Chains A and B, each alone.
Chain A
Amino acid sequence: MKIEQKDYTLELLDDHSGASLSGVLRLASPAAYEQAFEPLRKALPLGPAEGYTLDIAKLTFMNSSGITGISRLVLLARQLNKPFVFVVNDAIPWQRKTLASLQKLYPKLSIRAGV
């Protein structure tokens, strides 16, 4: 399933094993992210036990409301005890910095360099 918005694209794998987020995500509030990430929240419990992979390597910008949105996904994965893998782009500094902090919330969160 592919959800294309003006500034960003969310593409979900049909087997619920992962998704990719690309473009620019600067929504106005955490509530707006709840709506944008709803398909991810639905997919997360359905996928394989090995875990869920979210590829953000082509996501150039995300604001702090988005950090809240992402961390809610991480907390959901923690609740489901499902490993969560982020694919990041090391040319985009905020990605690894943010996710490295979130690893402290959930040790089964791992970060992999992509692109």
Chain B
Amino acid sequence: MTGSIAVLAGAEDELATALLERLSSVRARRLLLGAEPIAPPALLEEHPAVLIDTLPAATRPGYFSAVAQSLAAAGTRVLNAPLRLGQEDAFFLLSLAAARGLSVPRMALLPQRSYRANEASLRALAYPFPWEAAARHVGFPAVLRSADAGGLASASTVGTLDDVLRDHLTTGEQLLFLQQWPTAQLHVRALCFHGEDPLLVGFDPLRSRASAHPVPEGVASRVREAANKAARLFGLDAVALDFAVTDERVWLLELSDPLPDLRSSLYGISVFSQAVEALATRASALTLGTTRIAPSEVAPVFAEALPEQAVPEGTASVEISDSSALFGGETLAPVQEEPPPPPGFEALSEEEVPTEIEEPPVEEAPKRYGRKGPDGATLYGDEVAPPQRGRPLSSMTLRFEPLDLIAQWARCGQTADFLANFLSHDLERQETGLIVLSTVLNELVENAVKFAKEKRRRVTISVAHWGDVIAFETSNTVELERGEKLGGIIERICTEDVEALFLEQIERTAMSDQGASGLGLITMKKDYNARLGVRLGPTTDGAHLEVTVRVLMDVEQVEQQ
């Protein structure tokens, strides 16, 4: 044992760099960056005393896990290993927390929608599953969340049993549990670095987003108490704890590994620097042997949780009110308030669902590259305001999750065919119109699905028939770079020789498999002289970047007259 500290990092290395700077005067002699080859432990000249592993659990290559585990076995203190605090253990960890007296909203484990197993091996599964009993036990509003991947950011909010059954339909082999969602005055994340005062940040766990609002002192002291209790219970060197604070209680919602996401862009410079300081202090303490963990001790699982004395005196064990072993968590009075809108519904609540395509924010001067709209969004391409007269002859809006279409690609075509059929009833030349409309709609659906940044967040496609013009519109979340690239392509389509652009893209995609060639959009202009417009701006709740593509086609072109 040499007393050195190693930091394992991958693509995100802000934390690793900051830690090394901070530790340079101490004993950080080794840096294992993801970009450098890491020798198998048996070939290492010396084993570090401490390994700080900042790779995210979900995407870490197995090799690094095995290296970390074998170093841990040889006596290196690997921060948090062998317990990898990904979100994959949410149900288990929360059950354990509830059993040790922490306030955890009630939970019910749900059967998987489908299984990779034969019928005989599923005999022990209760059938029919007591859905109503599970829903009664948990109460609403609730979240439907994954027990084995993703964390709360991928959870959906549900207000009724019907919502649960509907969302459950599309979850395949995912293991899910239903959990009551307390109506909280505040959500707070506590970043705990063993023995340090936890750092508190206002944090929306459903969106994985920190808020700039400071945590009021009255709330902070209650959260600190709960966080310290949880950190002691799990005995982890680094843990992020998400809490919902109500008048009565501080509810533990989630435990996760704080290291992969420890970035200044998420928490702000101040919290980030304090976290680096706390982590460095903890790592140094472990190296210098000032802690009570002996160097020879193999890194423990729940080291301080298992002995009796780890649980503070007076902590009552939880009462599980339901006899079913499927249910866990603590008794919680049913909450009557309206459920918060589920993620993905904020932009289009039922009241706001447009029955017709609304007028886009279009500035006076057309065809300037990436012009600004009045609401701050960036607009590209043609002017695409629909005709200003009355209501469309017919219109329809569909909402879906990209993931469902990616899972079954044929659904893109089916969606396009459905909408094309719907529109073609108003056409004189229905057969031709159907082929043209479905061809165009299919490109729009495929683009929305491929471009969508969040594959579980609903995208919308709207169609409206205005007599001599048909309008299509898709909206989906997007990464800035891809959104701007799309805007740039649209701008070129609308201002350059589209035939030449088509051939340029053909020659280019012949060489590589780039998904965003814009060929589908180019053919809309080239073959049907469609007007194309793109709006790139924040969603109505400001939480995401959204791209809206609008296409206007003359019915003459659709019918090829």
A interface vs B, CB < 8 Å?
6-7, 24, 26-31, 60-61, 63-65, 67-68, 71-72, 75, 91-94, 97-98, 101-102, 104-105
**B523 near A93: Cβ-Cβ < 8 Å:** no
Instruction: Kindly list chain B residues whose C-beta atoms are within 8 Å of the C-beta of A65.
Output: 519
A93 and B409 alpha carbons, distance in the complex (Å): 24
Q: Give how many A-B residue pairs fall within 8 Å (CB-CB).
A: 77
Instruction: Kindly list chain A residues whose C-beta atoms are within 8 Å of the C-beta of B510.
Output: 68, 71-72, 75
A55 and B440 alpha carbons, distance in the complex (Å): 23
Instruction: Kindly list chain B residues whose C-beta atoms are within 8 Å of the C-beta of A61.
Output: 413, 435, 438-439, 442
**B410 near A94: Cβ-Cβ < 8 Å:** no
A66 and B2 alpha carbons, distance in the complex (Å): 60
Contacts A29-B515, A63-B443; A94 near B523 (Cβ below 8 A): yes
A68 and B509 alpha carbons, distance in the complex (Å): 7
Closest A residue to B442 using CB positions:
A63
Instruction: Kindly list chain B residues whose C-beta atoms are within 8 Å of the C-beta of A102.
Output: 506
**A26 near B442: Cβ-Cβ < 8 Å:** yes
**B503 near A64: Cβ-Cβ < 8 Å:** no
Instruction: Kindly list chain A residues whose C-beta atoms are within 8 Å of the C-beta of B506.
Output: 67-68, 71, 102, 105
**A101 near B499: Cβ-Cβ < 8 Å:** yes
A28 and B502 alpha carbons, distance in the complex (Å): 20
**B413 near A64: Cβ-Cβ < 8 Å:** no
Closest B residue to A102 using CB positions:
B506
A94 and B527 alpha carbons, distance in the complex (Å): 7
Answer whether residue B539 sits at the interface, using C-beta atoms and an 8 A cutoff: no
**A94 near B435: Cβ-Cβ < 8 Å:** yes
Instruction: Kindly list chain B residues whose C-beta atoms are within 8 Å of the C-beta of A26.
Output: 409-410, 412-413, 442, 446
Instruction: Kindly list chain A residues whose C-beta atoms are within 8 Å of the C-beta of B410.
Output: 6-7, 26
Separation in Å of the B263 CB from the closest CB of chain A?
32
**A64 near B519: Cβ-Cβ < 8 Å:** yes
Instruction: Kindly list chain B residues whose C-beta atoms are within 8 Å of the C-beta of A67.
Output: 506, 519, 523
Answer whether residue B431 sits at the interface, using C-beta atoms and an 8 A cutoff: yes
Separation in Å of the A23 CB from the closest CB of chain B?
11
Instruction: Kindly list chain A residues whose C-beta atoms are within 8 Å of the C-beta of B560.
Output: 93
Q: Given A63-B520, A67-B519, A93-B435, 12 other A-B contacts at CB below 8 A? A: A24-B413, A26-B410, A30-B513, A31-B513, A63-B446, A64-B520, A68-B510, A92-B435, A93-B436, A94-B439, A101-B502, A104-B499
**B509 near A104: Cβ-Cβ < 8 Å:** no
Separation in Å of the B499 CB from the closest CB of chain A?
6
Separation in Å of the A5 CB from the closest CB of chain B?
11
Answer whether residue B526 sits at the interface, using C-beta atoms and an 8 A cutoff: yes
Separation in Å of the B474 CB from the closest CB of chain A?
15
Separation in Å of the A68 CB from the closest CB of chain B?
5
Separation in Å of the B259 CB from the closest CB of chain A?
35
Closest 9 A/B residue pairs (Cβ): A64-B520, A64-B519, A97-B527, A26-B413, A68-B509, A71-B506, A28-B409, A30-B513, A31-B513
Separation in Å of the A58 CB from the closest CB of chain B?
13
Binary contact readout B383-426 vs A (1 if CB under 8 angstroms, 0 otherwise): 00000000000000000000000000110110000000000000
Contacts A61-B438, A63-B442; A104 near B527 (Cβ below 8 A): no
Instruction: Kindly list chain A residues whose C-beta atoms are within 8 Å of the C-beta of B432.
Output: 91, 93
Closest A residue to B505 using CB positions:
A68
Instruction: Kindly list chain B residues whose C-beta atoms are within 8 Å of the C-beta of A71.
Output: 506, 509-510
Contacts A61-B442, A91-B432; A68 near B523 (Cβ below 8 A): no
Answer whether residue B70 sits at the interface, using C-beta atoms and an 8 A cutoff: no
Separation in Å of the B530 CB from the closest CB of chain A?
13
Separation in Å of the B504 CB from the closest CB of chain A?
11
Partner of B435, one of A27, A28, A60, A63: A60
A72 and B506 alpha carbons, distance in the complex (Å): 8
Answer whether residue B517 sits at the interface, using C-beta atoms and an 8 A cutoff: yes
Closest B residue to A28 using CB positions:
B409
Separation in Å of the B423 CB from the closest CB of chain A?
16
A29 and B520 alpha carbons, distance in the complex (Å): 12
Separation in Å of the B415 CB from the closest CB of chain A?
11
Instruction: Kindly list chain B residues whose C-beta atoms are within 8 Å of the C-beta of A101.
Output: 499, 502-503, 526
A57 and B528 alpha carbons, distance in the complex (Å): 20
